[in-house]
Structure 1
């Protein structure tokens, strides 16, 4: 650990500047061109070999160092969220750009921290004469895009021996939270336009079909598993003219379930309702999958190594100024948000401000029921995620409170701390091939040796490739 700490600290200042640069850019899914170039510039200076347009995706890449031996992967993200513009360091909502984007999930820290861990691991291998290949995967569009799912489908992780990543949050520990598999698709209805007053009988309303589909899915909710989720948004209501029968309408559906098999089953039922709505309205319907990702398969072997390294490293080095800002910000965090944060992460009931005590290791999953394309990587190779304390307790994901803390010294310290935990864990694995074998055996046991099957069909192009083909 002492050696890893020195290696991380030697490179941290450049990476902190990188994370701030990505925070400033705040590029949303599939548009992270500046963020990619900023990362590649640092990695090329560090001597990593770069492969751009990984899996054909314009904002995906891999950086590699080392010639032979076990392959260690670090997964980085760098996409922001639309509508999350916020002035950094403010203790109240304050947009810097009306309707602009912002890093409301901390991916500017996630990518930079994973990169710092990769660089330190490469430096550790060189200093100890260890065999091993270190890769940093630049993964786009985690937010609503499932970039890693398209990358996994293309086979870019197939030769990886283990993968590590992390996520910034209000606590330190293992990212042990349930990840729901998800399938997201557009349902597009086509009908016949007509004058709604003069000849309504000649029209076939696509908007009626959308509304009937939504009603049908609402009835479905009583008859689906309680741990599943279905969301929708009408993305095209067919126009603004009420005296025209709408010939075209579109609705976006998001179907989530604890595992990908159950998600597929539930999605099939939603599709049957769409067909029924088309039948009732004498319209036609087409479906286009927009994204999908699998549930996360945890790995007990790597998680225990992470916890051991966290214990050896100690807590993030927050100082009095860091704590003072967190307490001031807490005045704009509601009691409900504080309770939701503590309960979701399984934190201590008295947690507040910047919390430095790690959460205890637990095999059982917590209750953060979101979705992540890390799941698709975890079906292919042993994968573990670290949870790094960077934000005040009560800061929930996708909020202005998270954005405002993204460039503060506390966030930087949490990111560097996470890099040390990940690099030390990778060093443990690369130093002992038996640990890698144990992690791989753990994966086989958890998946029951079921092969990975991509939840996105092979004919479905990623959105940027789809748009390019259409143009």
Structure 2
């Protein structure tokens, strides 16, 4: 089937819509709202969807900032996943290559979710418009997914059944490179351990006290010993969120730590977390204190789908490189000058930008923006991070691509990401991602064999196991 005319039509539609969507992305960058508090961002996104004829379902999974926009009718149902939450403490002026907060300590889009949600929505709008203009069947949905940063919004939406009738889900993420990189992300559990003891004067009444701080420290020591005896591809890390106070002459009566437990598959993560639980209980017994174990959130490991990823890559080859200009490259070079050579080389190695489809050369970071397209190996790589996209992937075939919104060497969750969040290069990147996703969505509609292959692969990887939400039914999002 010759899909080149369709690809060209969708690409042209994206180019026409790009300025309007760039303005929306910039507005969301300005709002910089934290997980589950993205009210202005959601209002802006819903207004855009309504303008282009999408019906809206609000309060998905009883979350005020979770919504679905839908256009078209019939099968298949193609979902585009969008995000729009920011990060605490990453306020930064846009368009400058030095660290300079807009407001010290305020929020900022340090993971590029203003671009992510915009690009996914642009893909949905472009595809829906193409289906309507050509009288083609198919339902296009944009999922407004809140709280990816520390909130597991998609996990709660998946638990509520929001993706149950979806035939395939597509998304993307800003990055220092262009292309598809299949990854096996880790399952993650986030758990609070809260110790309660008895306060006392630390000098003349210490025997009357029961130290919650001692308990917390013993737990941390115990988990450090656990690390030697757990699988090497697992991770356990923590933050002390309440040390009990600043007074050294007090036996601390309350302390708290947040633990993250990660493993390649959720059953392993749950087993490992139960071992951490026992260490916490042992620490409480040793100190004659009490411990409360509070489950916070979780995300299931990602199931990559090579059939879908191969289709995205093929469309990215057709689309060609992102059309960066000299001004884009010059600003990226300024950003790159704030990074170490180790960070630049690490970025190339981490994302395995081994060779370039368009430049036909090694990529070593000498160009500040990725000007081509990385090869797709057709196999998955281990990635120690976690994402709530994983939960969606256990319900329906799911795939994502990456687009070069950042200079090579830029690490997520840094001021450099925020500084690049409104740049013309970043706008070109989200438009390129939109073209890649929309044309892949169209391919799923025009080519039933592609969808059948994606579903067959998904069934093989799930082994017929139904999705098991890792978050207990009584636990809701931390709004």
- TM-score w.r.t. length of structure 1: 0.96
Corresponding residue number in structure 2 for 1:187? 193
Conservation of the 8 A alpha-carbon contact between 1:344 and 1:368: no
Q: Secondary structure at the match of 2:108?
A: coil
Structure 2 counterpart SS, 1:34: helix
Matched, 1:290 2:314: no
Please say which of residues 420-429 and 297-306 is displaced more in the overlay. 297-306
Find the counterpart in structure 1 of residue 57 from structure 2.
51
Alignment correspondent of 1:240: 246
Within 5 Å, give how 1:309-388 maps onto structure 2: 309-348=315-354, 349-351=363-365, 352-388=367-403
Counterpart residue number, 1:209: 215
When structure 1 is superposed on structure 2, of 64-73 and 165-174 the one drifting more is 64-73
Distance 2:441 2:13 in 1: 14
Query: Per-residue displacement from partner, 1:305-361 (whole Å, max 9, x unpaired)?
Result: 101100111010001111111122221111111122111100145233111221111
Provide, for residues 240-286 of structure 1, a one-character-per-residue CA deviation record: whole Å limited to 9, x for no partner.
22222222111110111122121111111111100100111111111
Structure 1 residue 367 displacement after superposition: 5.0
Three-state SS of the structure 1 residue aligned to 2:298 is strand
Q: CA deviation at 1:29?
A: 1.1
Conserved 8 A contact 1:163-1:383: yes
Supply the distance in 1 between the matched residues of 2:170 and 2:324 (Cα, whole angstroms).
Answer: 24
The farther-off stretch of 332-341 and 235-244 is 235-244
SS of the aligned residue for 1:173 comes to coil
Q: State the 1:175 CA deviation.
A: 3.6
Preserved CA contact (<8 Å) 2:72 2:128? yes
Matched, 1:416 2:416: no
Q: Matches of 2:119 and 2:441 in 1, distance apart?
A: 14
Matched residue of 2:384: which SS?
A: strand
- Mapping for residues 56-71 of structure 1, pairs under 5 Å: 56-71=62-77
Q: Displacement of 1:436 after TM fit?
A: 1.5
Partner of 1:467 in structure 2? none
> CA-to-partner distance for each residue in 1:167-205, whole Å, 9 max, x for gaps?
011111114233111000101111122222232222111
Instruction: Look up the match of 2:80.
Output: 74
1:8 deviation in Å?
1.4
Alignment of 1:107-146 (within 5 A): 107-146=113-152
Distance of 2:452 and 2:380 partners within structure 1: 24
**Which deviates further from its counterpart, 56-65 or 432-441?**
432-441
What pairs with 1:300-315 in structure 2 (closer than 5 Å)? 300-315=306-321
1:32 is aligned to 2:38: yes
**Candidates 386, 404, 408, aligned match of 1:393:** 408
How many angstroms does 1:61 deviate by? 0.7
Give the match for residue 451 of structure 2: 436
Provide the alpha-carbon RMSD of the alignment. Answer: 1.2
Distance 2:342 2:278 in 1: 38
CA distance in 2, matches of 1:392, 1:75: 24
Q: Please, which moves more after superposition, 134-143 or 321-330?
A: 321-330
Give me the whole-angstrom Cα distance separating, in 2, the residues matched to 1:284 and 1:323: 57
Supply the distance in 1 between the matched residues of 2:43 and 2:181 (Cα, whole angstroms): 29
Question: Could you tell me whether the CA contact under 8 Å between 1:345 and 1:367 is conserved in 2?
Answer: no
Question: Secondary structure at the residue paired with 2:201?
Answer: coil
Further displaced range: 343-352 or 256-265: 343-352
Q: What's the TM-score, normalizing by structure 2?
A: 0.95
Tell me the CA shift for residue 62 of structure 1.
0.7
Report the equivalent of 2:360: none
In the alignment, is the contact (CA less than 8 A) between 2:111 and 2:413 conserved in 1? yes
- What 5-or-longer segments of structure 2 have no aligned partner? 1-6, 355-362
Quote the Cα distance in structure 2 between the aligned partners of 1:312 and 1:302: 16
Aligned residue for 1:171? 177
Question: Could you list the runs of 5+ residues in structure 1 that have no partner in the other structure?
Answer: 465-471
In 1, Cα distance between the equivalents of 2:393 and 2:321?
27
Following the alignment from structure 2 to structure 1, what is the Cα–Cα distance between the partners of residues 172 and 470?
23
Structure 2 CA distance, aligned partners of 1:392 and 1:249?
41
Instruction: Note the C-alpha offset of 1:390.
Output: 1.5
What do the CA deviations read for 1:201-253 (whole angstroms, capped 9, x no partner)? 22111111111100100111111111111111111112222222222111110
Q: Distance in 2 between the 1:47 and 1:313 partners?
A: 27
Q: Which moved more, 1:352-361 or 1:182-191?
A: 352-361
Which of 465, 472, 478 is the aligned partner of 1:450? 465
Cα gap change, 1:300/1:367 in structure 2, threshold over 3 Å: closer, same or farther? closer
Structure 2 counterpart of 1:159? 165
* Maintained 8 Å contact 2:184/2:303: no
Select the residue among 411, 426, 431 that pairs with 2:441: 426
Q: Distance in 2 between matches of 1:367 and 1:282?
A: 42
Partner residue in 2 for 1:103: 109
